[in-house]
Amino acid sequence: MSSRVTLQTVADQVGVSRTTVSNAYNRPGELGAELRERILTAAAQLGYLGPDAAARMLRTGFMGAIGLLFTDDLRFVFTDPDTTSFMQGVAETSALSGTGLTLLPAPPGVDLTDTAVGSAAVDGHIVFSVADGEPALEKVRARNLPIVMVDEPDLGPGTSFVGIDDHAGANMAAAHLIDLGHRHLAVLLGRLSSAVRSGRVSAAREKEATLRVVRERIAGYRSAMADRGLDPGELVLWEAGGNDPDLARRAAVNLLGECPSITGLLCSTDQLAIGASQAGRVIGRQVPHDLSIVGFDDVPRAATWDPPLTTIRQPMVDKGRAAAELLLEQIDGAAPRRIQLPIELVVRASTARVSR
């Protein structure tokens, strides 16, 4: 192993200047085709792998990569179907544009000082579903790079945002149940904030909610009740402790034990709805006959679950694509934009007309 092969090595070999070799790679057309061919051949022979990434970055200030920030536990990030679908969308468009994709995990309880977060070699950040006031988000914002917020928090009109109308979606879900005759409704949600809690949500706890999406969804459920003459104050709120079917099953057992009159369960995600439907089996209430369940998201499993889940569909892969596109265009100098993706009520077999 002698010293490294650089632009200069290739230039010396061919007998041209460094500049010309650089041009051979970055601006073909600025030099003769025949010379370019000679340079590329010589480079291949010398084992030159193309311009060094770090040097190019330093000189141009362009990293050729985008960062994807998560603050959830990694066990969740790679297990949750919504998160992985979102990542798929981001990965697709970044791969298509030849941009690298750097994962920036900032799981709870990890010291951020010597993490890639806040110092990664990226041209911009996508922030996926983060609670208000997360330190990792502040670290990323401090860098003054282009940024796209997804779902939460919403930083206002000056910052790009990709999301859906959570309020309207929740309204549709609750309206569907009420229109089927359900009068006693409860909400099963994952978490209101990064702090892990489970059990019935008190008014005080509800005030602590730092996750915009769940706040909006609760408001949407309530608005449907108010629209249809029910008292939104009677809506039972229950926290499972995380967006996980197992937690949801246990939570739903407790919820339905404590509030047996509930006939309609509004689950703020499909993962929770899946768990809740298992709870139905456990406590002997058949879905949808004795208990109607409506989810949110329309994850891939929702359609094949037993029973197939009634839910609000949102296009998670598209969300990832949109976020990546917004970020890439911003890196190219475009102004921040907001994108709201469409949602849709999908009626399947987990909801039915109330039977008692």
State the Cα–Cα distance between residues 187 and 237, nearest whole angstrom.
5
115 scored as a contact of a second copy (CB under 8 A): yes
Instruction: Give the 3-state secondary structure of residue 10.
Output: helix
CA distance 248 to 261: 19
Does position 335 bind DNA by CB under 7 A?
no
Residue 233 DSSP one-character state: G
| 226 φ, ψ (degrees, to nearest 5) | -60, -45
Residue 309's SS3 state is coil
- Of the residues 41, 45, 59, 227, which one makes contact with DNA according to CB under 7 A: 59
Q: Which of residues 198-227 bind a second copy (CB under 8 A)?
A: none
Confirm or reject binding of residue 20 to DNA (CB under 7 A).
Answer: yes
Give the residue, chosen from 1, 58, 142, 203, that forms a contact with DNA under the rule CB under 7 A: 58
Site membership for DNA, residue 18 (CB under 7 A): yes
Site size with DNA, rule: CB under 7 A: 28
Nearer to DNA by Cβ, of 4 and 228: the residue is 4
C-alpha 182 chain-centroid distance: 32
Per-residue interface string for the shown chain with a second copy, residues 35-54, x marking contact by CB under 8 A: --------------xx-xxx
Residue 230 carries which side chain, given as an amino acid letter?
L
Nearer to DNA, 5 or 339 (CB): 5
Q: Which does 261 bind (CB under 5 to 8 A by kind): DNA, a second copy, none?
A: none
From the list a second copy, DNA, none, partner contacted by residue 231 (C-beta under 5 to 8 A by kind): none
- Tell me the H-state helices in 199-309: 203-207, 212-227, 245-258, 270-282, 300-304
Q: Is 8 in the site for DNA (CB under 7 A)?
A: yes
Please pick, from the candidates 13, 46, 51, 232, the single residue that binds DNA as defined by CB under 7 A.
51
Q: Considering beta carbons, is residue 263 or 277 the nearer one to a second copy? A: 277
Shortest distance, position 54 Cβ to DNA, whole Å: 7
Question: Binder to DNA among 12, 13, 31, 290 (CB under 7 A)?
Answer: 31
Helix, strand, coil tally for the chain in percent (to 5): 45, 15, 40
Site for a second copy in 78-97 (CB under 8 A): 78-79, 84-85, 87-88, 91-92, 95-96
Query: From the list a second copy, DNA, none, which binds 281 (C-beta under 5 to 8 Å, kind-based)?
Result: none
254, with CB counted inside 10 A (0-12, 13-18, 19+), is middle
Interface with a second copy, residue 103, by CB under 8 A: yes
DSSP 74-141: HHHHTT-HHHHHHHHHHHHHHHHTT-EEEEEE--TT---TTSSTTT-S-S-EEEES--TT-HHHHHHH
If phi over 0 gives left and psi between -120 and 50 gives alpha, with beta otherwise, what is residue 355? alpha
355 binds, among DNA, a second copy, none (CB under 5 to 8 A by kind): none
Size of residue set near a second copy by CB under 8 A: 46
AA letter at 350: S
β-bridge mates for residue 147, sequence order:
125
For a second copy, the binding residues (CB under 8 A) are: 49-50, 52-55, 57-58, 61, 63-65, 74-75, 77-79, 84-85, 87-88, 91-92, 95-96, 98-105, 107, 110, 114-116, 118-121, 142-143, 300, 306
For DNA, the binding residues (CB under 7 A) are: 4, 6-8, 15-20, 22-23, 25-26, 30-32, 35, 48, 50-52, 55-56, 58-61
